[in-house]
């Protein structure tokens, strides 16, 4: 059974496949993107790399060899669900952007 903070999804998520990089404090890694929306995203990581609920992480997506896109500077982990003995799905909520 997964840990979860109250459901706060305010926008429709679009299924999407691809690898993204994450950074949290001094940890980094790669994960598989599952879906994304203006307000958040879900991705899958190896169970040993799964985040606790609460930390803020940075997500970067490599678009080409030369172009990397910062998906979110401060995505907050809001949900964690075991998908298999060795995989975990992480859901994040993007911090609001101010000044647009």
Which residues does residue 41 pair with via DSSP β-bridges, in sequence order? Answer: 36, 92
Between 99 and 49, whose confidence is greater? 49
DSSP 39: T
How far is Cα 79 from Cα 77, in angstroms, rounded to an integer?
A: 6
Domain boundaries, the chain: 13-94
Among 3.40.228.10, 2.40.10.220, 3.40.50.970, 3.90.1150.10, what is the CATH number of 13-94? 2.40.10.220
Residue 7 has pLDDT above 70, yes or no: no
CA 22 to chain centre: 8
Collapse the DSSP code of 73 into the 3-class scheme (helix H, G, I; strand E, B; otherwise coil) and give the result: strand
Reported as a pLDDT band with limits 50, 70 and 90, residue 8 is: low
What would the pLDDT profile of 19-41 be if each residue is shown by its tens digit?
A: 899 998 888 999 999 998 888 99
């Amino acid at each position: 059974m997964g840990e979860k903070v109250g459901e706060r999804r305010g926008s429709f998520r679009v299924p999407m496949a691809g690898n993204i990089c994450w950074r949290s404090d001094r940890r980094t890694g790669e994960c598989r993107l599952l879906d994304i929306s203006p307000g958040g995203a879900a991705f899958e990581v190896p169970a040993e790399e799964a985040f606790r609920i609460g930390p803020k992480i940075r997500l970067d997506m490599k678009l080409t060899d030369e172009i990397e896109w910062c998906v979110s500077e401060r995505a907050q982990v809001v949900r964690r669900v075991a998908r298999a003995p060795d995989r975990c799905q992480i859901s994040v909520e993007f911090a609001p952007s101010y000044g647009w």
